[in-house]
């Protein structure tokens, strides 16, 4: 019997602390159904922030090195990490280094290569729908803007909402924005003091000394960041390409606002401005040294002219234990994205990716998945009925409190299951075809390869690993082609390179993995990208760019 651990995490939205217990119970039942032995539980209660700020998560990652467990079970995949990039990075690290796989107790199948591509398609499909919907939405917004009614969203500090009854429609109201007199005094004070040159920290201190508070807490300098740049305080602002002049009553003058914007820009410049901004390293967690196999991490420096340069560097190189040269960050990211685009531009390769997605879609939305969720819903309802009867018959307050906590857990579970069921039924209704996916790929490969958001999307969804040495770059794609490759490492990569250089026949590694490859000269500076279905070589010039 293989071992597993459970990672239940409190989610601040719509859940309470007791939901941890419910997650553990569901995860244990899932482990039992899969024949897995639970050896540890790492509960993360009521904590927010990045993965690095989650102590239970970090203990689990550290314990993964012991080899004591082969699976991590989470209630849902969104409990594993706070964002997609962290999720991909940690899953790849766990799989590649320790052979550990992350499973979801609620979601019907694991996130695999077809699933990554599938999510990209869903985003694209949703964007197409949003364009069709946009005209109707714009018509409604145009009416609201013309009438000066509130269009929804977050109401900024200094204002309140007044409800104006609609004649003949009980419990229906028109929402209008008006000035909150107490809060607007603070807004005016902040703008006027900053205009005089008073630092934000001193403004906050003055307000705190006068007894003012923001949502029950003392003001800080950062509290005012959004105030000082929000044009709504002038009573006139831009909204969806519309000039709105009658939705928000003015609290400050346009002249005061403009002077504050000028001062903000000056202070931003002297504080370092763009030069101090964080630069995203898109290949973090996926890039490895082709000399020693160690992670490649962010590195950089500033020239004598004050120009910043950004690189990826081998961890061991920094300690003097590897001879790998640094790689220019932007050039390497562009090159990797170019490899993906070039790969998918080949119709046969695109069809391999499409087959992956269709297999994933069919498996995800088949009757078995829906029946599984329907069974879980029925079981949850049955448990709630039993707990309700027990609550009515309970003779003590302590027993009733215990039962009530369990009922809350099952109610949360039931809501999550209904959400899963609705999502799957919605996806079944798409009836995705091969043509739909080929159309999507055709649009995808026409994106701007120099655009960082485009690069991020390609790398996040379609790249598994990249090995880079001073002579070559190997890019592994999230495309299986129906084969089964659990992981790759530096040894596999070197075997592949040796098999491709100056050898016309397939290497043993290539035959084993079902790979077709093309010939490359032994002395050329080349890169090849790999899926289970195909290898191809691409030469690079002295700057590391693709050549024809």
Residue 37 β-bridge partners:
3
Q: 275 pLDDT band (50/70/90 cuts)?
A: very low
pLDDT score for 450:
92
pLDDT score for 363:
82
Cα separation of 367 and 388, whole Å? Answer: 31
The region of weakest confidence among 68-72, 162-166, 335-339, 438-442 is 162-166
How many Cβ atoms sit within 10 Å of the Cβ of residue 65?
9
What percent of the chain clears pLDDT 70, i.e. is strictly above it?
A: 74
Helices (H) and strands (E) in the chain, counts: 17, 16
Round the average pLDDT of the chain to a whole number and report it: 76
DSSP state at residue 106: S
Domains in the chain with CATH codes: 3-107 (3.40.50.1390), 159-275 (3.90.1750.20)
What is the CA 276 to chain-centroid distance, rounded? 24
Task: Over range 459-476, report the average pLDDT.
Answer: 84
Cα separation of 541 and 548, whole Å? Answer: 10
Alpha carbon distances (Å) from 246 to 173, 231, 250: 18, 13, 9
Q: 311 pLDDT band (50/70/90 cuts)?
A: very high
pLDDT score for 4:
94
Alpha carbon distances (Å) from 145 to 131, 139, 155, 248, 398: 21, 10, 16, 11, 54
Cα separation of 173 and 161, whole Å? Answer: 11
Task: Over range 41-57, report the average pLDDT.
Answer: 68
For 472, how many CA atoms within 13 A lie in the half-sphere containing its CB?
24
The region of weakest confidence among 140-154, 439-453, 460-474 is 140-154
Higher pLDDT, 485 or 380: 380
């Amino acid at each position: 019997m293989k071992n597993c651990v459970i990672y239940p995490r409190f989610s601040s939205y719509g859940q309470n602390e007791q939901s941890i217990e419910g997650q553990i119970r569901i995860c244990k039942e899932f482990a039992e159904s899969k024949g897995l032995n639970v050896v540890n539980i790492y509960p993360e209660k009521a904590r927010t922030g990045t993965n690095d700020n989650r102590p239970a998560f970090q203990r689990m990652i550290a314990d993964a090195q012991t080899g004591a467990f082969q699976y991590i079970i989470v209630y849902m995949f969104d409990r594993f990490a706070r964002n997609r990039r962290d999720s991909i990075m940690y899953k790849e690290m766990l799989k590649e280094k320790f052979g550990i796989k992350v499973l979801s107790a609620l979601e019907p199948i694991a996130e695999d290569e077809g699933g990554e591509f599938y999510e990209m398609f869903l985003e694209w499909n949703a964007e197409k729908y949003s364009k069709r919907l946009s005209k109707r939405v714009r018509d409604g917004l145009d009416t609201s803007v013309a009438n000066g009614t509130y269009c929804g969203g977050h109401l900024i500090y200094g204002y309140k909402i007044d409800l104006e009854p609609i004649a003949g429609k009980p419990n229906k109201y028109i929402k209008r924005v008006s000035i909150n007199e107490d809060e607007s005094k603070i807004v005016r004070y902040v703008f006027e003091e900053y205009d005089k040159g008073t630092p934000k920290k001193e403004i906050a201190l003055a307000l705190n000394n006068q007894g003012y508070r923001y949502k029950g807490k003392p003001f800080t300098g950062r509290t005012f960041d959004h105030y000082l740049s929000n044009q709504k305080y002038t009573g006139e602002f831009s909204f969806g390409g519309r000039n709105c002049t009658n939705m928000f009553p003015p609290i400050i003058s346009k002249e005061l606002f403009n002077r504050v914007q000028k001062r903000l820009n000056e202070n931003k410049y002297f504080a370092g401005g763009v030069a101090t901004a964080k630069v995203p390293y898109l290949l973090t967690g996926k890039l490895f040294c082709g000399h020693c196999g160690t992670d490649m991490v962010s590195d950089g420096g500033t020239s004598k002219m004050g120009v910043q340069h950004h690189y990826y560097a081998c961890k061991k190189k920094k300690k003097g234990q590897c001879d790998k040269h640094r790689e220019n960050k932007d050039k390497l990211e562009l090159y990797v994205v170019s490899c993906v685009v070039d790969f998918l531009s080949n119709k046969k390769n695109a069809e391999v990716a499409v087959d992956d997605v269709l297999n994933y879609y069919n498996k995800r939305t088949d009757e078995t998945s829906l029946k599984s969720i329907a069974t879980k819903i029925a079981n949850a309802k049955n448990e709630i009925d039993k707990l309700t009867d027990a609550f009515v018959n309970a003779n003590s307050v302590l027993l009733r409190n215990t039962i009530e906590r369990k009922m809350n857990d099952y109610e949360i579970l039931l809501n999550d299951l209904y959400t899963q069921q609705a999502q799957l039924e919605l996806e079944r209704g798409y009836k995705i075809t091969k043509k739909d996916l080929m159309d999507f790929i055709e649009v995808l490969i026409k994106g701007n390869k120099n655009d960082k958001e485009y690069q991020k999307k390609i790398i996040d969804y379609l790249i598994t690993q990249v090995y880079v040495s001073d002579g070559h770059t190997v890019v592994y794609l999230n495309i299986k082609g129906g084969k089964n490759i659990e992981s790759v490492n530096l040894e596999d990569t070197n075997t592949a390179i040796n098999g491709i250089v100056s050898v016309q026949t397939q290497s043993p590694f290539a035959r084993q993995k079902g790979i077709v490859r093309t010939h490359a000269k032994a002395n050329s500076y080349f890169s090849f990208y790999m899926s289970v279905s195909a290898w191809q070589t691409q030469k690079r010039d002295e700057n590391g760019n693709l050549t024809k």
